């Protein structure tokens, strides 16, 4: 049966792309066909390219905007059309992979496209499971709790993965790891600097 998983975060820059790559690599190693979908990319980054390189899976980006802003704002200032959610749903429904990973932009309630839809709206529409990527450091308990509460109010269940676990964790990192519920993994910081082979081997233990 096909699985749909939304990867969102407590904020921008928390490690969503690397976690997405780790999830993809683990699933691919188990023999599942995997594709990563990036609905909206901004700022000239190439999250789909990073996932393709590290995990060795198929990827697709549906819309790209040059400015490093929330996607709806980036569309507005660039004069490019905002992405309708129905186009994302149509694209995802047309896929027949075992696992479809959909990576959001920024946090859960960032406006991604036409009429201000968010990745939370998309998760509800698709009936997808959700993975929340969180920071390891100070402030993460509150940010994560707020994100999980917003998901729960929408009837969506989620697991939490730390997106950049420090090589030398301090007291706050260790206690946060104990207190982040429900924690289902932690990806080491700078994992994207590993070779694809090293990354794919490590992913089997991180998530």
Active site residues: 38
Backbone angles phi, psi at 189, to 5 degrees: -60, 150
Count of residues in the chain: 207
Residue ranges of E strands in the chain: 3-9, 34-42, 58-65, 99-103, 129-134, 158-165, 183-188
- Contact between 29 and 204 under an 8 Å Cβ cutoff? The reply is yes
> In sequence order, what are the beta bridge partners of 41?
64
Helix axis angle, 140-153 to 119-126, nearest 10°: 40
């Amino acid at each position: 049966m096909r699985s749909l998983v939304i990867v969102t975060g407590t904020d921008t820059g928390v490690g969503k792309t690397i976690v997405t790559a780790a999830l993809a690599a683990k699933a691919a190693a188990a023999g599942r066909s995997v594709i990563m979908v990036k609905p909206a990319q901004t700022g000239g980054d190439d999250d789909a390219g990073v996932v393709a390189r590290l995990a060795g899976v198929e990827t697709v980006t549906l819309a790209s905007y040059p400015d490093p802003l929330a996607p709806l704002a980036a569309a507005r200032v660039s004069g490019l059309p905002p992405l309708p959610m129905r186009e994302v749903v149509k694209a995802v429904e047309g896929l027949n992979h075992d696992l479809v990973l959909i990576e959001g932009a920024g946090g859960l309630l960032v406006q991604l496209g036409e009429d201000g839809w968010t990745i939370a709206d998309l998760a509800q529409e698709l009936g997808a499971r959700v993975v929340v990527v969180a920071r390891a450091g100070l402030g993460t308990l509150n940010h994560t709790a707020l994100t999980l509460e917003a998901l729960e109010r929408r009837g969506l269940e989620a697991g939490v993965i730390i997106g950049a676990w420090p090589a030398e964790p301090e007291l706050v990192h260790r206690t946060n790891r104990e207190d982040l519920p429900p924690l289902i993994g932690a990806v080491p910081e700078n994992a994207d600097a590993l070779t694809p082979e090293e990354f794919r081997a490590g992913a089997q233990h991180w998530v």
